[in-house]
Amino acid sequence: MESANTYWADRALLEWQVELGATEAICEAPIDRYDVPAVVEKPKAVAAQTGPSFVAPVKVDAVAVAERAAAGAQTLDELRAAVSAFEHCDLKKGARSLVFSDGIPGAKVMIVGEAPGKEEDRAGKPFVGRAGQMLDKMLAAIGMGRDRADAPVYITNVLPWRPPQNRDPKPDEIAMMQPFLLRHIALVKPEVLVVVGNWSCQALLGKRGITRLRGEWTQAAGLPALPMFHPAYLLRSPEFKREAWADLLSLKAKLRDG
């Protein structure tokens, strides 16, 4: 009787096993897959890797980088270039413009705001929106202005780039930009500082609470400093304009009496 395991039958069985997922042929001698060897060989030590190895990225001290860059600036133009070249503040990536300053260098009064808003980001100058218009009116009320040769002011911000959606500055952002701010003050050499808003107080005085701090002369960066309400706050809360007017009169008296 002829065997049924013809070539074609054997091939069909092999193809069927391949379709089932078989990847190797069955040995002639049986293998006990559950047999445990009497001696288990220890794994051989892996030779030391000679190729390139992974190196963890070095964390950059952004504040130290800012301090070195700020210290190297000998003029306002050099400081502006140093701030523009600073790559460690993520705000720069989302901002349209660097907002450095406005007004007349050498003015007796230097006003330090918090951060640019939408209008400032477009114009590249601080305090040009509604809050800026309010600030100009406040200064004009005591005979001062950013463009007045007889009684000029100089204006800058703690942060030179607009935070997304005008959110509050973060502590690390203030810390890394503070060296530039202090160098800015040293180069302008004002007689007094007007510290506008909570976050400016945080950067220059190390504390917040503008309703408590405003109107009281203190020291910041080695200069007499007067904390005041931010003009944007006065737009939202006009009932505090009386206190703002008292602060402006205090500023005027300080400049007159020294």
- What would the mean pLDDT of 165-184 be, rounded to a whole number? 96
| pTM to 2 decimal places | 0.78
Give counts: helices (H), strands (E), the chain. 11, 6
Task: Please give the pLDDT value at position 125.
Answer: 97
Task: Please give the pLDDT value at position 10.
Answer: 73
Q: What is the pLDDT of residues 6-34, one digit of tens each?
A: 666 777 777 777 777 777 666 667 666 66
- What would the mean pLDDT of 142-169 be, rounded to a whole number? 96
Topology of domain 62-257, CATH? Uracil-DNA Glycosylase, subunit E (3.40.470)
Q: What is the pLDDT of residues 54-83, one digit of tens each?
A: 666 778 899 999 999 999 999 999 999 999
DSSP 238: G
**CA triple 221-98-59, angle to 5 deg:** 75
Residue 49 has pLDDT above 70, yes or no: no
Q: What percent of the chain has pLDDT over 90?
A: 76
- What would the mean pLDDT of 111-130 be, rounded to a whole number? 97
The pLDDT confidence band at residue 3, using thresholds 50, 70 and 90, is: very low
Residue 50 has pLDDT above 80, yes or no: no
114/95 Cα distance (integer angstroms) = 15
- Sheet of 153-157: strand order equals 102-103, 153-157, 109-113, 192-196, 223-228, 218-220
Backbone angles phi, psi at 57, to 5 degrees: -65, 140
Task: Please give the pLDDT value at position 13.
Answer: 73
Burial letters for 199-232: b for 16+ Cβ neighbours within 10 Å, e otherwise?
A: bbbbbbbeeeebeebbbeebebbebebbbbbbbb
Task: Please give the pLDDT value at position 51.
Answer: 58
In the three-class reduction of DSSP (H, G, I as helix; E, B as strand; rest coil), residue 227 is classed as strand
Between residues 139 and 44, the one the model is more confident about: 139
Domain boundaries, the chain: 62-257
Residue 222 has pLDDT above 80, yes or no: yes
172/89 Cα distance (integer angstroms) = 9
- What would the mean pLDDT of 172-198 be, rounded to a whole number? 98
**CA triple 80-152-247, angle to 5 deg:** 105
Task: Please give the pLDDT value at position 58.
Answer: 73
Mean pLDDT over the full length of the chain? 90
- What would the mean pLDDT of 180-202 be, rounded to a whole number? 98
Task: Please give the pLDDT value at position 59.
Answer: 84
137/44 Cα distance (integer angstroms) = 81
Residue among 35, 24, 159, 19 at smallest CA distance from 97: 159
Task: Please give the pLDDT value at position 19.
Answer: 74
- What would the mean pLDDT of 147-152 be, rounded to a whole number? 94
**Which residue(s) pair with 239 in the sheet?**
none
Among 28-42, 130-144, 158-172, 223-237, the minimum mean pLDDT is found in: 28-42
Q: What tokens does 112 get?
A: 């330090």
Residue 237 has pLDDT above 70, yes or no: yes
Q: What is the pLDDT of residues 175-185, one digit of tens each?
A: 999 999 999 99
Beta strands in 10-113 (DSSP E): 102-103, 109-113
Exposed / middle / buried, residue 101 (Cβ in 10 Å: 0-12, 13-18, 19+): buried
Start-end of H helices in 72-223: 76-85, 91-94, 118-123, 130-140, 171-188, 198-205, 210-213
